[in-house]
Amino acid sequence: MLRRELVEVRNGLTADDVRRTADLLAGRALALPELARAGTVAAYVSVGNEPGTLTLLDTLHARGVRVLLPVLREDNDLDWGAYEGEGSLARVQHSGKMALLEPSGERLGPEAVERADAVLLPGLAVDARGMRLGRGGGSYDRVLARLERAGADPALVVLLYDTEVVDRVPEEPHDRPVHAVVTPSGVRRFRTAL
């Protein structure tokens, strides 16, 4: 029910709202020490009315940061590819799902995310404990579990609209808190990132 409500609010945003927010989010995210010192950042290309990420991706890439983007596999797990600018993206229509922009180059394997210094996670909400509510497909739950199994501890950051930071989201035993949420009005930290 919470997912549906959050998606309905997002669907009411205009293209101008999304564009304006994307620039604010990029500025705030780029000021994070975790991103400023990162050599590799795993991120994603926003779709629809998600908080926009292309400005952030382009700036990270221009800084010489290796940006990894997900490639959705048939089993809902994620492979990864390098971002080389907007021209390196291909629109992929996944069966029964939305079309995604994915890197068109070499596939680096699901384990590539283990080498990221920071991981930008999509989400619909984050609560006061840092628990993230995703879309429900489980792709990023797999990513977080993979990072934990590998002993990797990158900074975990979610980009959201201000109204999507809520008191509490439903939680399952496999859920893991994020380190920070970036919204147009600021950054909120939940635990110290390395």
Is position 136 annotated in a ligand binding site? Answer: yes
Is position 123 annotated in a ligand binding site? Answer: no
Is position 135 annotated in a ligand binding site? Answer: yes
Is position 157 annotated in a ligand binding site? Answer: no
Is position 134 annotated in a ligand binding site? Answer: yes
Q: What is the DSSP string of the chain?
A: -HHHHHHHHHHT--HHHHHHHHHHHHHHHHTSHHHHT-SEEE-----TTSPP-HHHHHHHHHTT-EEEEEEE-TTS-EEEEE--SGGGEEEEE-TTS-EEEEE-S----GGGGGG-SEEEE--SEEETT-BEE--SS-HHHHHHHHHHHHT---EEEEE--GGGEES-----TT--B-SEEEETTEEEESS---
Is position 45 annotated in a ligand binding site? Answer: yes
Is position 100 annotated in a ligand binding site? Answer: no
Is position 104 annotated in a ligand binding site? Answer: no
Is position 130 annotated in a ligand binding site? Answer: no
**Binding residue ranges for substrate:** 45, 50
**Binding residue ranges for ATP:** 132-140
**Binding residue ranges:** 45, 50, 132-140
